[in-house]
Amino acid sequence: MRKFFKTTLFASVLAVAISFTSCQDEFEEISNGEENESITASSAAAKLITNTASQDGSFDNIVDGVSCFAIEFPYTVNVNGLEVTLDSKEDLVTVEELLDKVDIDQDIVDIIFPITITLADYSEITISNKDALREIAKDCIEGGKDDDIECIDFVYPLTVFTFDVNNQQTGNATVENDRQLRRFFTGLEGNQLVSMDFPVTLKLYDNTEVVVNTNAELAVAIESAKEACDEDDDNDHNDDDFSKERLDAYLVACPWLIHDVQRNEEDQTGQYFEYAMNFAANGAVTAKDREGNSIEGEWTTRVSNNRVLLKLEFTALLDFSLDWFVYELEGGKIKLFAEGGNKIIMKKACDVIDKDPNTLRGVLKECSWIIKKVKRDNQELDRLLGYEFNFMADGVVTLSSGEVSSEGTWEITLNAQARLVMAITMGNEPGVSFEWPLSDLRDNRLKFEIPGTGYELILERNCDNDVNDEDVVWIRGLFNDSLWEVALFSENQDPSEAYANYEFSFSTNGKVTVYNPNQVEVSTGRWFVYRNSENKLEMIITFGADSNFYPLANDYIVLEVEENRLELKHENSNGGYDHLVLEKK
């Protein structure tokens, strides 16, 4: 669970605690000077102790939507149609990533039953179906019952004592964690007397420590800290714990491109797509359309009901003029929602708008660049996968793949929105001839795209042909002087036997030759193994569009590799997967 600090710091807790006499009526009277002052197990002070030691069930709210219990690992969920097994808290990040891939405000996470849940007192219950889970959750839904205190924690180990009515010690126990402390108090009778071995150390949400010497000081320290931070007990995983101040800084840091607009449940994306938004620190905002026309407005932010709102006001852009709830602020993206079917999605454009063209020129000239994806008119040109661009200083660009080479011209310009554009002209290869607007600039990866128009180009940096990467060199060497066959090929889990009786030769010059059962050459293509910008091993296989083996052409991630076997996977644009398994003959 993530926390962020309130604007008012939790300061001088002990200073407040020392003046505990003003609130002493809330706690039991104590005998000053007694070595072991005691409280009853049902007292307000004891309740604060048990709430601090309670199980925090909010960390998995992305799955169960409640904070008063947590689901025990491992268990399986279905996220927007994909089954995911969760073995630890870290795996919950995978769930959020899958939900974030879908730009909708209604996320679907189905739990596969049975499961075991752990309650605030660390007792466990087995749940067999959704109705049983809802029955338990009905009293602790978002904003409901959740008494655990998360802004302050005990520092273990510590020792607790029990006493009789004469305040004589009757027992003691050393506890090592919250579970043991909470279970210790659960086992006490309500009128039983209890205390701790002081001094006791507690750690605040900001990692500072507080030392208390009495039960009264302990109670006041917990009481003062329990509202000092955001416990994030809601089930909105996409709020990402941001504050008004963080949103303000995020908005003015970069220009933003509009990628989705819905007003009153009607899709208005077409008319506003790729509008550029510039937020100024003085509250002015400028929207620039695709032709470069500017529309002026104003923006403000505020907090309401623990949510951050962005207010946009335009006189000539009424579809944007609204109080927007900021639903997500992460990964270079801002999602805005409002009641009545209203939504705006903006994506960060720091490196693509209002930038010096020489920046991109320099990046392109530094190294060779491999085509990972190219799409024109919604048609993916897989025959060009693995082809290599070399951008020369004199405006000449070459495109090659071993035996084939083309030459053309290139230049970097700014369009009407002041957006960086790479213009390529290559007469004998029209697949890459286009004015490509830059949409993503990273150290090892460039993406040019006009989303929604079917034009996209992704390039991967390749400075040294991975000659120093032992894994890449080893995989390439597996194909030397050998023949391979397709042991499995499936498209979206639909297996095909069409390639089972053919042999494949992968030459060191990057050529793939296919032979039929009579050892007759029937097709040729290209292959290339490298480490991509995400540090994953990848194998590119290409064939001409007129080849019967064109369906095999893809950029594959290497899943498993042995000396005689490679298992490859390609993720399709529709979310499905192609699998290819090659085995040495």
Q: Which two tokens stand for residue 354?
A: 């209002």
Confidence of residue 230 (pLDDT cuts 50, 70, 90): low
Q: Which two tokens stand for residue 81?
A: 């149609």
Confidence of residue 8 (pLDDT cuts 50, 70, 90): very low
Nearest to 204 by CA among 154, 158, 243: 154
Q: What is the mean pLDDT of residues 315-329?
A: 89
- Taking only the tens place, the pLDDT of each residue in 537-556 is 999 999 988 999 999 999 99
Q: Are 164 and 193 in contact (CB under 8 A)?
A: yes
- Taking only the tens place, the pLDDT of each residue in 487-521 is 999 988 788 899 999 999 999 989 999 999 999 99
Q: In the prediction, which pLDDT does 12 show?
A: 35
Confidence of residue 330 (pLDDT cuts 50, 70, 90): low
- Taking only the tens place, the pLDDT of each residue in 211-224 is 999 999 999 999 98
Q: In the prediction, which pLDDT does 317 show?
A: 93
- 225: part of which helix (H) or strand (E)? helix 215-225
Neighbours of 312 (CB within 10 A): 21
Q: In the prediction, which pLDDT does 2 show?
A: 27
Q: Are 66 and 235 in contact (CB under 8 A)?
A: yes
- 99: part of which helix (H) or strand (E)? helix 92-100
Angle between helices 44-53 and 178-186 (to 10 degrees): 140
What's the mean pLDDT when you consider all of the chain?
Answer: 85
Q: Determine the Cα–Cα distance for residues 202 and 179; give it in Å rounded to an integer.
A: 16
Q: How far is CA 453 from CA 102, 197, 456, in A?
A: 19, 70, 9
Question: What are all long-range contacts of 291-297, with beta carbons under 8 Å and residues at least 24 apart?
Answer: 291/416, 292/415, 292/416, 292/417, 292/418, 297/321
- Taking only the tens place, the pLDDT of each residue in 152-196 is 999 999 999 999 888 889 999 999 999 999 999 988 888 899 999
Amino acid at 388: E
Q: Which domains does the chain have, with CATH numbers?
A: 13-54+149-225 (no CATH), 58-137 (no CATH), 242-348 (2.40.128.270), 357-462 (2.40.128.270), 470-584 (2.40.128.540)
Q: Determine the Cα–Cα distance for residues 329 and 341; give it in Å rounded to an integer.
A: 20
- 338: part of which helix (H) or strand (E)? strand 333-338
> In this predicted model, which residue has the larger pLDDT, 283 or 328?
283
Q: In the prediction, which pLDDT does 35 show?
A: 43
> In this predicted model, which residue has the larger pLDDT, 141 or 85?
85
**HSE-up of 459 (CA within 13 Å, CB side)?**
28
DSSP strand E in 219-280: where?
A: 256-263, 266-267, 276-279
Of 32-46, 136-150, 404-418, highest mean pLDDT: 404-418
- Taking only the tens place, the pLDDT of each residue in 114-136 is 999 999 889 999 999 989 998 88
% of the chain residues with pLDDT over 70: 88
Q: Determine the Cα–Cα distance for residues 424 and 94; give it in Å rounded to an integer.
A: 38
Q: In the prediction, which pLDDT does 29 show?
A: 36
Q: In the prediction, which pLDDT does 146 show?
A: 60
Residue 473 predicted with pLDDT over 50: yes
What does residue 529 show for φ and ψ, rounded to 5 degrees?
Answer: -115, 135
> In the chain, how long is the greatest CA-to-CA distance?
100
3-state SS assignment for residue 246:
helix
Q: Determine the Cα–Cα distance for residues 410 and 434; give it in Å rounded to an integer.
A: 10
State the DSSP string of 474-531.
Answer: HHHHHTTT--EEEEEEEETTEE--TTTT-EEEE-TTSEEEEE-TTS-EEEEEEEEEEE
Nearest to 47 by CA among 223, 206, 175: 223
Q: Where are the alpha helices (DSSP H) in 254-385?
A: 269-272, 357-366
Nearest to 60 by CA among 85, 92, 96: 92
For residue 551, whether the previous peptide bond is cis, meaning omega lies within 30 degrees of 0, is no
Q: Which two tokens stand for residue 55?
A: 């199980």
Cα Rg, the chain, nearest whole Å: 31
Q: In the prediction, which pLDDT does 101 show?
A: 62
Q: Determine the Cα–Cα distance for residues 211 and 209; give it in Å rounded to an integer.
A: 7
Q: Determine the Cα–Cα distance for residues 372 and 122; give it in Å rounded to an integer.
A: 50
> In this predicted model, which residue has the larger pLDDT, 65 or 230?
65
Q: What is the mean pLDDT of residues 415-425?
A: 92
- Taking only the tens place, the pLDDT of each residue in 74-112 is 999 988 778 889 998 888 888 877 776 655 444 468 899
Nearest to 275 by CA among 101, 452, 89: 452
